[in-house]
Amino acid sequence: MGAPPTAVRPPAVAPCILLVDDDRRVLELLEIAFTAHGFKVLTAADGDQAMKRMLSERPDLVVLDLRLPKKSGLEVCEWVRKDPDDPHVPIIMVSAVVDTDTRLQAFTRGVDDYLTKPFSPKELIARVKRLLARSLDAREARERQRMLEREAARAHEDAKRAHAETQREQRLTDLAYGPGLDLLRAGSADELAGWLLPAVCARLGAGMAGLLLPEVEGGVLAPAAVRGDGPERLAALTLQPGSALADVLAGLERPVARADLERFPDLRDEMAPFAAEGIVLLVPLRGPGGLEGLLVVDERRDGLGFPPLELESLASLARIAGVALHNARRVGALVERTLDVLCARAPAGPGVGMARTEAAYLVEHAARATLVAPRLRRLLAHAVRLGGGVEPGEDAAALERLAADDPTGLVRDLRTLLARARALEPEGGAAPEESRAAALLAVALAHAEARARGADLQAALGHALTGADGRLDPITRQALEAAARELTLAAVES
């Protein structure tokens, strides 16, 4: 870096003149003349010494002989004009050489004036004063130019900042009136995930985004939805309430990089599963009651970092999502309590309640093993307790009214699940996970009926599996059989 611009010398300070000549008598004569006119005088006898004095003293003007030992006057002049700190210092060259070519070379190398020997010291001093006055004006003009350039640069930066802030405000406004409204309209966590995850992948350019939610209020956060990969990608991820990581995330209101969290020694063990699955960004979803969920994102498809403006937008989106989840959970809890009341009133004969409890255990464990989503598992539990439906009458009418007014869609999906379970063949339009849940419900209902009639656990399950043979894939069948073995073992041990 060059030195800061040379300040304009106040008039009260005597100008400093560097006299360079290898003739000692000339130097003495000129030194006397310039000193008598109030100048501060420096001297040098060769080109090298002249350059050293220039660097150390920074004179206001140089009187330079053409022919010098070590480095010629032309070389010294050329060096001065390349000096990044003060290339504009005035130079008067003096020489006994009078030919035109030499004078042209001198002016080409940057000399401001040329005086032939012999000369009058008075003439030299007059020329020095003229050049100093012109140099002072030029320096003031350059300083004004630098000031104008600095002001223009500041104005440009201010304009850039204002433009960036305008863009930021516009993006946040678009966010609030676009995806933000979609999230607030969501009646359930599943609906919210359906809006949030695609928006996150699109905005960040990420290949995958997943959502961890508690199955019950205050419970462990577990994978609830994923975009860009199958649910098995996030199956190993959980977040325990009250853990060090949960406490850190609950205190944040912004996305945080996994690498930043891994810097804390007490978080490294909890972060290991996230690192194993390639998660690079964790986004806490905070609501009025604390941490409502956790959004996890893998790296961008192009391998670049996340744009800061998009991360800021994501922080706002996460705050909206946290509130939306809180509201959806409260509404969902009211709907589920109503369903609990209807389930408790469902007619049941002797032993039916115990049989349904056992069937619910089997399908819950099989559903978890096959990664059925939490919402579908809740629907399965309600459907098994209802015993396949409600009898015509007051309860059926209540369920009908609840379905019409339910913003969560839980009752609607429950009725759909019951209809699919009763169908002899799986519906062609159902998603694979929904077909699996319907098959599990069909098995559960058949198992409960067989158990209520007195069949033992294995016989009842075998009967149920045979009845649903065309609807069960091998993985789901194996999961049910494993759950039955666990139940049998538990009964033996008790």
User: What does pLDDT average to in each consecutive run of 10 residues of the chain (494 residues)?
Assistant: 44 81 90 91 91 90 91 90 85 88 89 88 90 83 82 83 70 61 76 87 89 87 86 86 91 90 91 93 91 93 85 86 87 80 68 83 88 85 76 63 78 83 63 84 87 86 82 86 84 68
The confidence score (pLDDT) of residue 12 equals: 52
Question: Residue type at 482?
Answer: A
Q: Are 319 and 179 in contact (CB under 8 A)?
A: no
Q: Which residue has the tokens 């045979």?
A: 466
Rounded Cα distance between 177 and 441, Å, is: 41
Is 316 domain-assigned? yes
Using DSSP, state whether 437 is helix, strand or coil: helix
Number of domains in the chain: 3
Is 162 domain-assigned? no
Count of CB atoms situated within 10 Å of the CB of 378? 19
The confidence score (pLDDT) of residue 177 equals: 59
The confidence score (pLDDT) of residue 10 equals: 46
The confidence score (pLDDT) of residue 1 equals: 40
Residue 463 and residue 426 in one domain:
yes
Q: How far is CA 201 from CA 34, 282, 306, in A?
A: 78, 13, 11
Q: Is the peptide bond before 118 cis (omega within 30 degrees of 0)?
A: yes
Residue 391 and residue 466 in one domain:
yes
- Provide the domain limits for residue 37: 16-145
Is 160 domain-assigned? no
Residue 310 and residue 429 in one domain:
no
Residue 349 and residue 483 in one domain:
yes
Which residue, 479, 389, 486, 391, is CA-closest to 439?
A: 479
The confidence score (pLDDT) of residue 348 equals: 63
Q: What is the CATH number of the domain that holds 113?
A: 3.40.50.2300
Residue 358 and residue 294 in one domain:
no
Residue 355 and residue 478 in one domain:
yes
The confidence score (pLDDT) of residue 144 equals: 85
Q: How far is CA 151 from CA 58, 78, 129, 209, in A?
A: 28, 32, 33, 46
Q: What angle do CA 17, 23, 25 make, to 5 degrees?
A: 80
Is 314 domain-assigned? yes
Is 201 domain-assigned? yes
Residue 30 and residue 67 in one domain:
yes
Residue 41 and residue 125 in one domain:
yes
Answer yes or no: pTM beyond 0.95. Answer: no
Residue 272 and residue 354 in one domain:
no
Residue 237 and residue 319 in one domain:
yes
